[in-house]
Amino acid sequence: DTGVSQNPRHKITKRGQNVTFRCDPISEHNRLYWYRQTLGQGPEFLTYFQNEAQLEKSRLLSDRFSAERPKGSFSTLEIQRTEQGDSAMYLCASSPYSTTNEKLFFGSGTQLSVL
């Protein structure tokens, strides 16, 4: 068990550019979540996959955000035409399927700075 891995750890980009982040979950976990966190706030839900199916997406998420999880393994989160308001820590979490106690395992995150 190597934990949840996220790449890159830091990303600096100019406004208007596209960025893509990658998340490698714990191998036997079939659920994968993306969250966004700004300083002093809790993780804000973005989207959720069960295996390769994207089952839920936040209504707050603009069309500039898209996520994929091909083959139900790693996932990518792309932000198109970045804006300064997109600057945040992007966290990925995975968990095994459970109908009751669900424990999320978080990666260390990707810190995005949009200049």
Each as own residue / partner, the long-range contacts of residues 65-69 (CB below 8 Å, 24 or more positions apart, any chain) are 67/34, 69/32
Joined together, the tokens standing for residue 86 give 């997109």
**Span near another protein by CB under 8 A; candidates 11-19, 38-46, 61-69, 76-84:** 38-46
Joined together, the tokens standing for residue 14 give 């100019």
Binding mask 53-72 for another protein (x = CB under 8 A): x-xx----------------
Q: How far is the CB of 3 from another protein (least distance, A)?
A: 9
Q: Is 74 in the site for another protein (CB under 8 A)?
A: no
Please compute Rg for the chain using Cα positions.
Answer: 14
Residue among 11, 21, 23, 33 that touches another protein (CB under 8 A): 33
Residue among 20, 44, 61, 80 that touches another protein (CB under 8 A): 44
Q: Between residues 50 and 66, which has the closer beta carbon with respect to another protein?
A: 50
Q: Is 45 in the site for another protein (CB under 8 A)?
A: yes
Q: How far is the CB of 17 from another protein (least distance, A)?
A: 26
Residue among 23, 25, 48, 77 that touches another protein (CB under 8 A): 48
